[in-house]
Amino acid sequence: MTKKLVLLRHGQSQWNLDNRFTGWVDVDITEQGRAEAQNAGKLMRDEGLMFDVAHTSVLKRAINTQHTALAEMDQLWIPVNKSWRLNERHYGALQGLDKSETTAKYGEAQVKVWRRSYDIPPPTMDENDGGHPRFDRRYSKLDATALPGTESLATTLDRVLPYWHDAIAPQLKAGQTVLVTAHGNSLRALYKYLNNIANDQIVELNIPTGIPLLFELHDNLSVKNFRYLGDPEAAKKAAEAVANQAKSAK
């Protein structure tokens, strides 16, 4: 029996609009983001998807996207699990900075390495910075040593995978249809794992906001096929827009 998993990146956030590095900063979605979430719900409804359970991060841009999409599907009643392990990659000292200004300062090549490479993290946030997660109540019950001051995609995958193995994979193996609403890099990490993408190839992968990515999996959870719902050209253009976010302003 084919297992179904949908990965959904949150709709446009205010800092997506402002072209800032967001990371673990709890920024909400914009009106366009809500429209994207509604459209995601319509696409999933038209696909005939009936979810048994949903997972999201503890950041409101993902939570509100998922809520809006499930409302569009009339599936708000399903169980929802929230985990910090599905948070966006922590962008360290870059969080809050304008992407194009950062590119102008450090160069496009360096910023692309920080944004898209597999194992090179951005500069670390000072642990005494008020924005460090150790000062955030939602992480107060976690071991402080587990809270990052910066992350690469590799370390993001390291924290996402235990949640995959402990929470999501067992549900899929039990025959449940699962929705995961998260962020560009936590979803890139899952995409890399599911599709066994090489470290040097993941740099070119960009996940567009608000477009559901449907995976059909074999019983052992190997990938049978995957595709974005809706217009493939629209998904391609949206991914290209993500790739261009850090280019210097002309």
Which residue numbers belong to the known binding site for substrate? 9-16, 22-23, 61, 88-91, 99, 115-116, 184-185
Half-sphere exposure of 107 toward its Cβ, with a 13 Å CA cutoff? 3
Question: 10, 55, 132, 183: which is the annotated catalytic residue?
Answer: 10
Helix segments in 74-210, DSSP class H: 99-106, 108-116, 153-163, 169-173, 184-195
Round to whole Å and give the CA distance between 58 and 120: 25
Q: In what order do the strands lie in the sheet with 213-217?
A: 80-82, 53-56, 178-182, 3-9, 213-217, 223-228
The answer to whether 127 and 90 are in contact (CB under 8 A) is no
Q: What are the binding residues?
A: 9-16, 22-23, 61, 88-91, 99, 115-116, 184-185
Active-site residue, 31 included: no
Q: Are strands 223-228 and 3-9 parallel, antiparallel or unpaired?
A: unpaired
Alpha helices in 18-107 (DSSP H): 31-46, 60-73, 99-106
Output the CA torsion sign for 59, 248, 204, 152: negative
The catalytic residue among 88, 132, 151, 183 is 88
Contacts of residue 97, Cβ cutoff 8 Å, sequence gap at least 6: 20, 21
Phi-psi region of 93 (alpha: psi -120 to 50; beta: other; left: phi over 0): alpha
- Known active-site residue 165: no
Q: Are strands 3-9 and 178-182 parallel, antiparallel or unpaired?
A: parallel
DSSP class per residue in 189-203: HHHHHHHT--TTTGG
Q: Which residues are catalytic?
A: 10, 88
